[in-house]
Structure 1
């Protein structure tokens, strides 16, 4: 970037560029910054959830309340993350066919 592009004092521009913060940062659920909220009905269930949280190294706020319905949806979503689906690459026209005929893909199965 040339000096002539910025209209104003160069010192101000440099200070402005150096300062700032990352606004696009993702906060991961289950960490210190964003703990998972879990509501359970009994102390025995709380012990089970604490063991599960310790096993997966997740931070969670566990509340025991017999009057409320059990809510472990956030914990289940953090533990059972969906895996990325990878599809097989389709062969190019001039590649050998995958059926084993020995012909080119464009002459056999395309």
Structure 2
């Protein structure tokens, strides 16, 4: 038998597989498959948000509700994506020195 053989009720296994974190990378927030939901207090603010969403090609469901606070967290998250940090290559001991002497780094500037 393989290690992946499931012992137990199959309906329990299916419920477990269907729940949990969404790892479906095909559906991104702000597309037709998963529009973002935004709540704003006024029609003027709705027009501003709609313009911003259209500029960035984001599909959003904007609701005007004066009784609720403004909720634009999903839009802010899409607009301010974290960028990966890129580090400079660190010199190894046997690499040529960056001062231009032609010597190895370990014998020149180390």
TM norm structure 1: 0.71
Please name the residue that 1:104 is paired with. Answer: 104
Please name the residue that 2:9 is paired with. Answer: none
Deviation digits for residues 44-98 of structure 1 (CA, Å, limit 9, x no counterpart): 0000000001000001010100110001010010011111111111122211222
- 1:64-79 equivalence runs, <5 A: 64-79=64-79
What secondary structure is seen at the aligned counterpart in 2 of 1:51? helix
Deviation digits for residues 10-37 of structure 1 (CA, Å, limit 9, x no counterpart): xxxxxxxxxxxxx953121101111111
Large movers: runs of 4+ above 6 Å:
none
TM norm structure 2: 0.71
- 1:77-92 equivalence runs, <5 A: 77-92=77-92
Change (3 A) 1:25 1:109: farther
* RMSD (Å), alpha carbons: 1.8
